[in-house]
């Protein structure tokens, strides 16, 4: 039997800009495995490939620049449902930019 989690893994990273957004308000509500949402920000003046990360109405930050180009292309083409972003690591004692680690999975196109 195949391990679906391993086969679906696309990337994992810390949320960029976590210090500057609403992470401190959302982090008490998060746990390992919590689903997060990707939102493309085409008009972002700092990064043309900007992809924001949200939990409910809380903006947590962004997909890091080194990880966002391909994700942005998929989102621009309307493929948002292929992504499954989850909280992977919560480290409250770490530097704020390293407090929340996430894992990005690709959903099966046949589902």
What average pLDDT does the segment 44-61 reach? 97
pLDDT of residue 109 exceeding 80, the answer is no
H or E element at residue 24: helix 23-26
pLDDT of residue 93 exceeding 60, the answer is yes
Are the C-beta atoms of 76 and 40 separated by less than 8 Å? Answer: yes
All structural domains of the chain with their residue ranges: 8-106
What average pLDDT does the segment 62-73 reach? 97
- pLDDT value, residue 1: 43
- pLDDT value, residue 68: 98
pLDDT of residue 92 exceeding 60, the answer is yes
CATH domain 8-106 topology: Alpha-Beta Plaits (3.30.70)
pLDDT of residue 61 exceeding 70, the answer is yes
What average pLDDT does the segment 93-111 reach? 88
Nearest CA to 99 out of 7, 11, 25 is that of: 25
Please state, rounded to an integer, the average pLDDT across all residues of the chain. Answer: 92
- pLDDT value, residue 67: 95
């Amino acid at each position: 039997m195949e391990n679906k989690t391993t086969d679906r893994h696309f990337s994992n990273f810390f949320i960029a800009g976590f210090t500057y957004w609403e992470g401190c308000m959302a982090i008490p509500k998060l746990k390992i495995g919590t689903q997060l949402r990707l939102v493309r920000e085409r008009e972002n003046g700092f990064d043309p490939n900007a992809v924001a990360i949200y939990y409910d109405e809380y903006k947590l930050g962004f997909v890091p620049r080194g990880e966002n180009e391909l994700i942005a292309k998929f989102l621009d083409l309307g493929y948002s449902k292929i992504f499954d972003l989850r909280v992977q690591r919560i480290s409250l004692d770490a530097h704020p930019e390293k407090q929340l680690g996430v894992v990005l999975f690709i959903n099966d196109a046949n589902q």
